[in-house]
Amino acid sequence: MKKGATIDSLEITGISSEGKGVGRVDGKVVFVKETVPGDIVKARVVGKKKKFLEAYAEEILSRSSERTAPFCEHFGLCGGCKWQHMEYDAQLKYKQGHVEENLRKLSGLKLPEINPILGSSKTSFYRNKLEFTFSNFRWLTREEINSDEEYVRTGLGFHIPKQYNKIINVNKCHLQADPSNEIRLKVKDFADKHDVSFYDVKNQEGFLRNLVIRTASTGDVMVILQVHYRDQEMLDLVMNFIQKEFPAITSLMFVVNEKGNDSFGDLEVELFAGKDHIMEQMDDLKFKIGPKSFYQTNSEQAHELYKVAADFAGLKGEELVYDLYTGTGTIANFVARSAKKVIGIEYVEEAIADAKVNSELNGIDNTDFYAGDMKDLLGNEFINEHGKPDVIITDPPRAGMHPRVTQMLADLKAERMVYVSCNPATQARDLEILGQVYEVKKIQPVDMFPQTQHVENVILLELKK
């Protein structure tokens, strides 16, 4: 089966953790994007590896009962919502299956029955943060290429998957509620009409680079405009337009970025109008969110996630809790009133500063926060100074925990550990070490990102008796 070959009839029998449909031909696995288990497709091979083939569906011969019509005109191009073509109940089923498959195959541990996944009440317009990229040479669709019309080549939207220099212009995004779409569309229209240059990523020239929009349940809105160089007249032109057109924006900021990439964690974010932060609320807790602050992008479902973590922690008011990878201290502050003391550790210093402010905002005085590399900071000296924890809550990035951190936690032998993960595969890997001294008591998947293959998972570990 060579690249370019046609598979006349391929039944899709599964779904991969990357979100692609899975079939088999001549004993070899075939990954087919934008298909659903139960589909039968005519497929064309576009990639050949030693153990698998990659293909796309030229024609759907028989539609799965789990298939539905995507609601976004950009589906299949921007890559942001890979599962829009799948019914939401089916999405939850396959996410639950991925959690179970990863934990049972990779951890090698005896596991309890996995609780049914917690679905999201919102399956669209659920994100509180989006980043859009400006381009002077946007991606054209096949229909546009085949037409005789002339098209405006500027674009403001998302990257084509795996192509850093290809931007699809977004007419409407179903991930973030208004005023997000209105802001993006009007900023682009204004820039086009006033000949404000869009960034050329290949030649690294042009003025407008990136637009970040953050919204909050409180009604606060933050907009950050990233520009390539400082041209005060041009900057004032665009920023004054945004401020006048959208008075609901409570924090209007900008970044001058002359680097080769759009990251601005190491750059100054300057205030143009309003406050230098927005406020988010969860229950009776308030959280200050700055331009560089991390906050779970699905605010409503984050609340459900934290309630699970707090329930699993089983705090009675007398425990010393370590909250690892604490970020801006969201979980630490969420559980602090049920604990004797909470100590949060995080690599990013700005996040730790936010965590301390969030404790002060909420009148919480039993938290301490420390910045440092987890594998270096969390050692015997730190434990001796701050005390051995009764409960550990850990919420690492997708890569999971460093092996030294995992081993330290196994050696530490806290009574209970709550492991929150956005990647069940690396969570399962870490459980191999933690399983030396802990047993898994509860497992709760949580869907934070509808229309995608991503899933969060919370595990309760208790010390073996």
CB 225 within 8 A of CB 239: yes
Which residue reads 């288990």 in tokens?
37
Q: Which residues pair with 55 in a beta bridge?
A: 32, 45
The CA distance from 291 to 353, in Å, is 13
- C-alpha distances in Å from residue 288, one per residue of 248, 255, 317: 18, 20, 26
Query: DSSP state, 338?
Result: G
Angle at 35 between CA 32 and CA 37, to 5 degrees: 105
Pairing state between β 52-62 and 28-33:
parallel
Q: Residue 444 and residue 30: Cα distance in Å, rounded?
A: 31
Identify the active-site residue in 78, 81, 173, 422: 422
Look up residue 15 and give its two tokens.
């779904």
Residue type, 257: N
Cα 324 to Cα 120, 343, 405, distances in angstroms? 25, 8, 10
What SS3 class is residue 55? strand
- Contact present, 456 and 422 (Cβ < 8 Å): yes
CA atoms within 13 A on the CB side of 360: 8
Residues in a beta bridge with 15: 21
Cα(283)–Cα(89) distance, rounded to whole angstroms? 28
CB of 47 closer than 8 Å to CB of 25: no
The answer to whether the CB of 257 falls within 8 A of the CB of 226 is yes
Which strands form 28-33's sheet, in the order they lie side by side? 6-11, 40-48, 52-62, 28-33, 21-25, 14-15
Residue 255: closest CA among 290, 220, 297: 290
The angle that helices 424-434 and 403-412 make with each other, rounded to 10 degrees, is 50
Nearest-angstrom CA–CA distance, 152 and 321: 56
Active-site residue flag, 72: no
Omega before 179 cis (within 30°)? yes
Burial 312-321 (b: 16+ CB within 10 A, else e): bbebeeebbb
Q: How far apart are CA 258 and CA 229, in angstroms?
A: 6
Which structure tokens are listed for 339? 């604990």
Question: Which of the 8 DSSP states describes residue 337?
Answer: G
What are the catalytic residues?
A: 422
